[in-house]
Structure 1
């Protein structure tokens, strides 16, 4: 069973079987990915690779069938299309453009790494497309999907090893 993220005009939801949760997606909505940094959540279904989490923010690793790993203060994710480490985890300091995984807000307290543009990695086809914790008010992401912390933990506990995250357009 897949987690289906769909909706339109700021009314996004994630459906997993009979469970439906409010969701956030990229500021560009759900569409065909055009380029790195376009703010689009990319149409398609993406396998779940692993779950990253902040041990200083959660008492234990999220319950999940997927591999889990703690996020360290020097963890980053390369988003520089011309760099050999593009769409890969890196250690900071890192000279090329990258996301800081150890954020000052709560968004990356739990990060579900999706297999979008990772086999093979194509420069500019999108990086760091995650499922993570939503901001208050479910404001748009940079291209990821986001759920409340409680909903994300519930989803991870229910998901099976073949579960994917699917971005679909329409209501």
Structure 2
């Protein structure tokens, strides 16, 4: 089966809002606080304009129960971190605690990473300062902007997940 394409378009009226479309499913989303960019840099708050493959995913098993998806979703553990330090050899990689370089905790106290899909932005071909932890994850209340990711609410993520698999393209326009 050919991987599908998720299209992320800017929504009118706000640089940090978007519309996500997959086939007949269309849902609202949040993107980076700085909008979209073709020149993604670490910490710029922008979502990269790019076509990115879904390569893996994570879930908080104790919060959302079973998720219907052909994607292999790893259960998040407390020691899972994501390195966002450009000078580290582990930049833009999953690492384990304890870890001294700058990082994000995957097991967050909020719900953002309860479903967290990893897009291949600066992963298979890494370059320092090109941006890290560009995920497709859950939204903050009120569709607050992300730090550069694409985010949707849990109900909409559950609608999308059955159609997503490794290799699905997320195309940010």
Superposition TM-score tier, normalisation by shorter sequence = over 0.9
Residue by residue over 1:96-149, the C-alpha shift from the partner in whole angstroms, topping out at 9 and shown as x without a partner, is 000111101011100001111112211111110000000111010000000001
TM-score, normalised to structure 2's length?
A: 0.92
Give distance in 1, aligned partners of 2:9 and 2:41: 21
The 3-state SS of whatever aligns with 1:153 is helix
Q: CA deviation at 1:160?
A: 4.5
Of the candidates 11, 14, 39, which is equivalent to residue 20 of structure 2? 14
1:55 aligns with: 61
For structure 1, list consecutive stretches of 5 or more residues without a partner in the other structure.
Answer: none
Tell me which stretches of 4 or more aligned residues in structure 1 moved more than 6 Å: none
**Counterparts in 2 of 1:21-40, with a 5 A limit?**
21-40=27-46
Preserved contact between residue 33 and residue 41 of structure 1 (Cα < 8 Å): no
TM-score, normalised to structure 1's length?
A: 0.93
Q: CA deviation at 1:71?
A: 0.4
Give distance in 2, aligned partners of 1:115 and 1:99: 17
1:122 aligns with: 127
**Counterparts in 2 of 1:57-76, with a 5 A limit?**
57-60=63-66, 62-76=67-81
Of the candidates 2, 5, 14, which is equivalent to residue 2 of structure 1? 5
The 3-state SS of whatever aligns with 1:47 is strand
The 3-state SS of whatever aligns with 1:57 is helix
Residue by residue over 1:43-93, the C-alpha shift from the partner in whole angstroms, topping out at 9 and shown as x without a partner, is 111000112000111222x22222211000111100000000000001122
Q: CA deviation at 1:35?
A: 1.5
Preserved contact between residue 29 and residue 152 of structure 2 (Cα < 8 Å): yes
Q: CA deviation at 1:162?
A: 3.7
For structure 2, list consecutive stretches of 5 or more residues without a partner in the other structure.
Answer: none
